[in-house]
Structure 1
Amino acid sequence: MEEKNISMSKTYDPKSFEDRIYKWWEEKKFFTPKVDKNKKPYTIIMPPPNITGQLHLGHALDNTLQDVLIRTKRMQGYSTLWLPGQDHASIATEVKVENELLKVGLKKKEMGREAFLEKVWEWTDKYRNTIRNQLKRVGVSADFTRECFTMDENLNKAVKTVFVKLYEEGLIYQGNRITNWCPNCQTALSDAEIEYKESAGHFWHINYPVKDSDEFVEIATTRPETLLGDTAVAVNPEDERYKHLIGKTLILPLVGREIPVVADDYVDKEFGTGCVKITPAHDPNDYLVGKRHNLPEISVMTLDGKIVEGYGKYSGMDRYDARKEMIKDLEEAGLLVKVKDHTHNVSTHDRCGKVIEPMISKQWYVKMEELAKPAIEAVRNGDTEFVPQRFDKIYFNWMENIQDWCISRQLWWGHRIPVWYCKDCGELTVSVEDATKCCKCGSTNIEQDNDVLDTWFSSALWPFSTLGWPEKTPDLEYFYPTDVLVTGYDIIFFWVARMIFSSINNMGETPFKHVLIHGLVRDAEGRKMSKSLGNGVDPLEVIDTYGADALRFMLITGNAPGNDIRFKMEKVEAARNFANKIWNASRFVMMNLDEELLNKYKECTNYSLADKWILDRFNRLTKEVTENIEKFDLGIAAQKIYDFMWTEFCDWYIELVKPVFWGEDEEAKGVAYNVLKKVLVGGLQLLHPFMPYITEEIYSHLNCEYESIAISKWPEFTEDLVDENAEKEMNLIIEAIKSLRNVRAEMNVPPSKKAKVSIYTVDEKEAFEKGIIYLEKLGSASEVEFVSSKDDAPENSVTAVTSGAELYMPLLDLIDLEKELERLNKEKDKLQSEIDRVEKKLSNERFVSKAPEAVVAEEKAKGEKYKEMYKAVVERLEALQK
Structure 2
Amino acid sequence: MSNSDITISKSFEPSTIEAYWGPEWEKRGYARTTLDPRRPNFAIQLPPPNVTGTLHMGHAFNQTIMDGLARYHRMRGDNTLWVPGMDHAGIATQIIVERQLDAQNQSRQALGQKRFIERVHQWKKESSSTITRQIRRLGASTDWSREYFTMDEGMSRAVIDVFVRLYQQGLIYRGKRLVNWDPELGTAISDLEVVSEEEDGNLWYIRYPLSDGSGYITLATTRPETMLGDVAVMVHPQDERYTALIGKTLTLPLVGRKIPIITDDYVEPKFGTGVVKVTPAHDFNDYKVGKRHGLAQIIVLTSDAKINNNAPVVYRGLDRYDARKRIVSDLAALGLLESIKPHRLVVPRGDRTRSIIEPMLTDQWFVAMSRPAPEGTFHPGQSITQTSLDVVRRGQIKFVPENWTTTYYQWLENIQDWCISRQLWWGHQIPAWYTDDGQVFVAHSEADALAQARAQAYNGELKRDKDVLDTWFSSALVPFSSLGWPKLTLELEHFLPSAVLVTGFDIIFFWVARMVMMTTHFTDKVPFHTVYVHGLVRDAEGQKMSKSRGNTLDPIDIIDGIDLETLVNKRLTGLMNPKQAALIEQKTRETFPSGIPAYGTDALRFTMASIATLGRNVNFDLARCEGYRNFCNKLWNATRFVLLKCEGYDCGIVAYPGDFRSIDTLNFSPADRWLVSLLQRVEVNIEQGFSDYRFDNIASAIYKFIWDEYCDWYIELAKVQLEIGTPTQQRSTRRTLLTVLEIILRLAHPLIPFITEALWQKVAPLIGQYPVGTASGNASIMMQSYPLSASERIDEQAEAWIAELKAIVNACRNLRSQIKLEPATRVRLVAGVNVTRLREFSPYVRALARLSEVEVLEDKAELDKQAFGAPVALVGTIKMALKVEINITTERKRLTQKISHIANELAKCNAKLQNKNFLARAPAAIVDQEQKRLSDFQSMLITLNNQLGRLSS
TM-score under structure 1 length normalisation: 0.92
Query: What is the identity, as a one-letter code, of the residue corresponding to 1:512?
Result: F
Instruction: State the alpha-carbon separation in 1 of the partners of residues 421 and 877 from structure 2.
Output: 75
Do the aligned partners of 2:835 and 2:858 also contact (CA within 8 Å) in 1?
Answer: no
Q: Secondary structure at the match of 2:786?
A: coil
The alpha-carbon distance between structure 1 residues 829 and 654, as it changes in their structure 2 partners (threshold 3 A), is farther
Q: Give the superposition deviation at 1:292.
A: 1.2
The alpha-carbon distance between structure 1 residues 658 and 331, as it changes in their structure 2 partners (threshold 3 A), is same
Instruction: State the alpha-carbon separation in 2 of the partners of residues 40 and 94 from structure 1.
Output: 42
Do the aligned partners of 2:896 and 2:948 also contact (CA within 8 Å) in 1?
Answer: no
Match of 1:104 in 2: 104
Query: What is the identity, as a one-letter code, of the residue corresponding to 2:638?
Result: A
Residue 625 of structure 2 corresponds to residue 572 of structure 1: yes
Residue 898 of structure 2 corresponds to residue 817 of structure 1: no
Q: Give the superposition deviation at 1:263.
A: 2.4
1:433 pairs with 440, 445, 462, which one?
Answer: 445
Instruction: State the alpha-carbon separation in 1 of the partners of residues 897 and 72 from structure 2.
Output: 49
Do the aligned partners of 1:163 and 1:172 also contact (CA within 8 Å) in 2?
Answer: yes
Do the aligned partners of 1:6 and 1:591 also contact (CA within 8 Å) in 2?
Answer: no
Match of 1:273 in 2: 273
1:806 pairs with 879, 882, 887, which one?
Answer: 879
CA RMSD of aligned residues (A): 3.1
Residue 841 of structure 2 corresponds to residue 771 of structure 1: yes
Match of 1:394 in 2: 407
Match of 2:603 in 1: 550
Q: Give the superposition deviation at 1:8.
A: 1.5
Match of 1:792 in 2: 863
Residue 40 of structure 2 corresponds to residue 40 of structure 1: yes
Give runs of aligned pairs for residues 284-433 of structure 1, distance below 5 A: 284-309=284-309, 310-369=311-370, 370-423=383-436, 426-433=438-445
Q: Secondary structure at the match of 1:348?
A: strand
Q: Give the superposition deviation at 1:543.
A: 1.2
Query: What is the identity, as a one-letter code, of the residue corresponding to 1:774?
Result: Y
Query: What is the identity, as a one-letter code, of the residue corresponding to 1:709?
Result: I
Instruction: State the alpha-carbon separation in 2 of the partners of residues 28 and 326 from structure 1.
Output: 70
Q: Secondary structure at the match of 1:55?
A: coil
> In terms of mean alpha carbon deviation, does 752-761 or 634-643 score higher?
752-761
Do the aligned partners of 2:612 and 2:618 also contact (CA within 8 Å) in 1?
Answer: yes
Instruction: State the alpha-carbon separation in 2 of the partners of residues 776 and 586 from structure 1.
Output: 25
Q: For each residue in 1:18-45, what CA deviation from the matched residue of structure 2 results, as whole angstroms up to 9, or x when unmatched?
A: 0210111011111001211121110001
Give runs of aligned pairs for residues 136-175 of structure 1, distance below 5 A: 136-175=136-175
Do the aligned partners of 2:869 and 2:947 also contact (CA within 8 Å) in 1?
Answer: no
Give runs of aligned pairs for residues 593-604 of structure 1, distance below 5 A: 593-598=646-651, 599=653, 600=661, 602=663
**Matched pairs, number:** 859
Instruction: State the alpha-carbon separation in 2 of the partners of residues 410 and 391 from structure 1.
Output: 33
Query: What is the identity, as a one-letter code, of the residue corresponding to 1:742?
Result: N
Match of 1:186 in 2: 186
Instruction: State the alpha-carbon separation in 2 of the partners of residues 881 and 733 from structure 1.
Output: 33
The alpha-carbon distance between structure 1 residues 259 and 442, as it changes in their structure 2 partners (threshold 3 A), is closer
Query: What is the identity, as a one-letter code, of the residue corresponding to 2:56?
Result: H
1:660 pairs with 710, 721, 730, which one?
Answer: 721
Q: Secondary structure at the match of 1:597?
A: coil
Match of 2:480 in 1: 464
> In terms of mean alpha carbon deviation, does 347-356 or 460-469 score higher?
347-356
Match of 2:638 in 1: 585
Residue 697 of structure 2 corresponds to residue 684 of structure 1: no
The alpha-carbon distance between structure 1 residues 291 and 605, as it changes in their structure 2 partners (threshold 3 A), is farther
The alpha-carbon distance between structure 1 residues 743 and 35, as it changes in their structure 2 partners (threshold 3 A), is same
Give runs of aligned pairs for residues 58-207 of structure 1, distance below 5 A: 58-207=58-207
> In terms of mean alpha carbon deviation, does 13-22 or 190-199 score higher?
190-199
Q: Give the superposition deviation at 1:492.
A: 0.6
Residue 814 of structure 2 corresponds to residue 742 of structure 1: yes
Q: Secondary structure at the match of 1:37?
A: coil
Instruction: State the alpha-carbon separation in 2 of the partners of residues 804 and 360 from structure 1.
Output: 87
Instruction: State the alpha-carbon separation in 2 of the partners of residues 664 and 772 from structure 1.
Output: 14
Q: Give the superposition deviation at 1:102.
A: 2.3
Query: What is the identity, as a one-letter code, of the residue corresponding to 1:783?
Result: V
Instruction: State the alpha-carbon separation in 2 of the partners of residues 867 and 829 from structure 1.
Output: 8
The alpha-carbon distance between structure 1 residues 442 and 206, as it changes in their structure 2 partners (threshold 3 A), is closer
The alpha-carbon distance between structure 1 residues 335 and 38, as it changes in their structure 2 partners (threshold 3 A), is same
The alpha-carbon distance between structure 1 residues 710 and 867, as it changes in their structure 2 partners (threshold 3 A), is farther
Do the aligned partners of 1:385 and 1:513 also contact (CA within 8 Å) in 2?
Answer: yes
Residue 684 of structure 2 corresponds to residue 623 of structure 1: yes
Q: Secondary structure at the match of 1:441?
A: coil
Instruction: State the alpha-carbon separation in 2 of the partners of residues 621 and 604 from structure 1.
Output: 28
The alpha-carbon distance between structure 1 residues 294 and 780, as it changes in their structure 2 partners (threshold 3 A), is same
Q: For each residue in 1:629-660, what CA deviation from the matched residue of structure 2 results, as whole angstroms up to 9, or x when unmatched?
A: 11011112112211221111111111121112
Query: What is the identity, as a one-letter code, of the residue corresponding to 1:798?
Result: P
Instruction: State the alpha-carbon separation in 2 of the partners of residues 760 and 868 from structure 1.
Output: 23
Instruction: State the alpha-carbon separation in 2 of the partners of residues 285 and 510 from structure 1.
Output: 36
1:525 pairs with 538, 541, 544, which one?
Answer: 541
The alpha-carbon distance between structure 1 residues 84 and 215, as it changes in their structure 2 partners (threshold 3 A), is same
Instruction: State the alpha-carbon separation in 2 of the partners of residues 558 and 115 from structure 1.
Output: 47
Query: What is the identity, as a one-letter code, of the residue corresponding to 2:644?
Result: M
Give runs of aligned pairs for residues 171-250 of structure 1, distance below 5 A: 171-212=171-212, 214-250=214-250
Q: Secondary structure at the match of 1:402?
A: coil
Instruction: State the alpha-carbon separation in 2 of the partners of residues 37 and 832 from structure 1.
Output: 71
Do the aligned partners of 2:666 and 2:729 also contact (CA within 8 Å) in 1?
Answer: no
Q: Secondary structure at the match of 2:175?
A: strand
Q: Which runs of 5+ in 1 are unaligned?
A: 845-862
Instruction: State the alpha-carbon separation in 2 of the partners of residues 236 and 807 from structure 1.
Output: 89
Instruction: State the alpha-carbon separation in 2 of the partners of residues 632 and 766 from structure 1.
Output: 46
Match of 2:785 in 1: 713
Match of 1:849 in 2: none
Q: Give the superposition deviation at 1:119.
A: 1.0
Q: Which runs of 5+ in 2 are unaligned?
A: 371-382, 561-597, 654-660, 770-777, 914-918, 920-933
> In terms of mean alpha carbon deviation, does 750-759 or 101-110 score higher?
750-759
The alpha-carbon distance between structure 1 residues 610 and 567, as it changes in their structure 2 partners (threshold 3 A), is same
Query: What is the identity, as a one-letter code, of the residue corresponding to 1:629?
Result: F
Q: Secondary structure at the match of 2:233?
A: strand
Query: What is the identity, as a one-letter code, of the residue corresponding to 1:570?
Result: A
Q: Give the superposition deviation at 1:524.
A: 2.6
The alpha-carbon distance between structure 1 residues 203 and 790, as it changes in their structure 2 partners (threshold 3 A), is farther
Q: For each residue in 1:680-706, what CA deviation from the matched residue of structure 2 results, as whole angstroms up to 9, or x when unmatched?
A: 222221211111111111111113425
Q: Secondary structure at the match of 1:471?
A: coil
Query: What is the identity, as a one-letter code, of the residue corresponding to 2:532?
Result: L
1:516 pairs with 528, 532, 549, which one?
Answer: 532
Instruction: State the alpha-carbon separation in 2 of the partners of residues 179 and 68 from structure 1.
Output: 42
The alpha-carbon distance between structure 1 residues 124 and 554, as it changes in their structure 2 partners (threshold 3 A), is same
Query: What is the identity, as a one-letter code, of the residue corresponding to 1:224?
Result: P
Match of 1:731 in 2: 803
Give runs of aligned pairs for residues 609-620 of structure 1, distance below 5 A: 609-620=670-681
Match of 1:642 in 2: 703
Q: Secondary structure at the match of 1:267?
A: coil
Q: Give the superposition deviation at 1:426.
A: 4.0
Q: For each residue in 1:805-840, what CA deviation from the matched residue of structure 2 results, as whole angstroms up to 9, or x when unmatched?
A: 43212235367432674698699999999x99xx9x
Match of 2:494 in 1: 478
Q: Secondary structure at the match of 2:763?
A: coil
Instruction: State the alpha-carbon separation in 1 of the partners of residues 900 and 830 from structure 2.
Output: 23
Residue 753 of structure 2 corresponds to residue 698 of structure 1: no
> In terms of mean alpha carbon deviation, does 41-50 or 682-691 score higher?
682-691
Instruction: State the alpha-carbon separation in 1 of the partners of residues 104 and 614 from structure 2.
Output: 46
Instruction: State the alpha-carbon separation in 1 of the partners of residues 213 and 878 from structure 2.
Output: 100
Instruction: State the alpha-carbon separation in 1 of the partners of residues 838 and 527 from structure 2.
Output: 58
Q: For each residue in 1:417-470, what CA deviation from the matched residue of structure 2 results, as whole angstroms up to 9, or x when unmatched?
A: 1111123x6432211234361512253511111111110100000111000001
Do the aligned partners of 2:501 and 2:530 also contact (CA within 8 Å) in 1?
Answer: yes
Q: Secondary structure at the match of 2:8?
A: coil
Instruction: State the alpha-carbon separation in 1 of the partners of residues 814 and 897 from structure 2.
Output: 10
Do the aligned partners of 1:438 and 1:446 also contact (CA within 8 Å) in 2?
Answer: no
TM-score under structure 2 length normalisation: 0.85
Q: Give the superposition deviation at 1:192.
A: 2.8
